[in-house]
Amino acid sequence: MSKDPTFWILARAGGIAAYVLLTTSVLAGLVVKSRPFGRALKASTAVDLHRTLAFLGLGFVAVHGASLVLDSTVKLSPLALAVPGISPYRPAATAAGVIAAELMLVVYASFSFRKRLGIRTWRALHWLTFAVFAGATAHGLTAGTDSGRTWAAALYLGAVGAVALATAWRALTVVPKPKGAVS
Residue 100 maps to a domain: yes
Domain span at 95: 6-172
Kindly state whether residue 180 falls inside one of the protein's structural domains.
no
Please report whether residue 83 resides in a domain. yes
Is-contact 135 100, C-beta < 8 A?
yes
pLDDT in tens, 144-172: 999 999 999 999 999 999 999 999 988 88
**1 part of a folded domain:** no
**178 assigned to some structural domain:** no
166 contact partners, CB below 8 Å, separation of at least 6: 26, 27, 30, 31, 34, 36
Q: Are the C-beta atoms of residues 178 and 172 closer than 8 Å to each other? A: no
For the segment 10-43, what is each residue's pLDDT rounded down to a tens digit?
999 999 999 999 999 999 988 876 665 555 566 6
Does residue 181 lie within any of the structural domains?
no
pTM here is 0.89
Distance, in Å, from the CA atom of 48 to the CA atom of 105, rounded to the nearest integer, reads 17
Taking only the tens place, the pLDDT of each residue in 68-109 is: 999 988 889 999 999 999 999 999 999 999 999 999 999 999
Smallest Cα–Cα separation from 58: which of 105, 112, 100, 16? 105
Question: Is residue 151 situated within a structural domain?
Answer: yes
Q: How many domains does the chain have?
A: 1
